[in-house]
Amino acid sequence: MKVKISDYNEDNTPRESKIQIDPWDTVSVDNTLALIALPLLKQYRKNLNGAPYVENEDVPPEMYQEVDSYDGWGERWAWVVDEMINAFERLADPDWSDDFHEGMTFHAEAWQAEDKRIDNGLRLFGKYFRGLWQ
């Protein structure tokens, strides 16, 4: 895969892009997309300069807030982005499930908890995708 995307233009014309997808890039699309999304999300996380509204159902109870309150928006958004990053870190590593093997013992409950966390990170990515402009 090769990707070249131009910088933003001063006159607001569309950015130019050239994308070459090779046959092996589609063997495991989830891994390929994770390899692209992960560094983008990490860079984005370093430069958070705003936050969309995050619903209480998407954060731990200790981060809940009143509907009309702006308190904690940045912290809530950072938590959501961190969950997205965790999901893509795991998907970018094809051997992530090896972390749950200890000799011949497989720690199924721990693996299931992490698998559920990955699914939640991906759910949050989809739900808040349009908030990633912040």
pLDDT digits (tens, 9 = 90+) for 36-90: 999 999 999 999 988 999 999 999 999 998 877 777 889 999 999 999 999 999 9
In this structure, is residue 1 part of a structural domain?
no
Q: What is the mean pLDDT of residues 1-9?
A: 91
In this structure, is residue 105 part of a structural domain?
yes
In this structure, is residue 62 part of a structural domain?
yes
In this structure, is residue 125 part of a structural domain?
yes
Q: Which residues constitute the domain of residue 116?
A: 28-133
Q: How far apart are CA 14 and CA 3, in angstroms?
A: 16
Comparing C-alpha atoms, which of 65, 48, 117 is closest to residue 86? Answer: 117
pLDDT higher than 80, residue 133: yes
Query: Residues 3, 9, 13, 16: what is their CA dihedral angle, to the nearest 10 degrees?
Result: -10
61 touches 84 (CB < 8 A):
no
In this structure, is residue 21 part of a structural domain?
no
Amino acid at 82: D
pLDDT higher than 80, residue 105: yes
In this structure, is residue 97 part of a structural domain?
yes
In this structure, is residue 104 part of a structural domain?
yes
**How many distinct structural domains can be found in the chain?**
1
Tens digit of each residue's pLDDT (9 = 90 or more) over 9-38: 888 899 999 999 999 999 999 999 999 999
Q: Which residues contact 76 (CB under 8 A, 6 or more apart)?
A: 51, 54, 59, 63, 65
28 touches 95 (CB < 8 A):
no
Please report which confidence band the pLDDT of residue 124 belongs to, taking 50, 70 and 90 as the band edges: very high
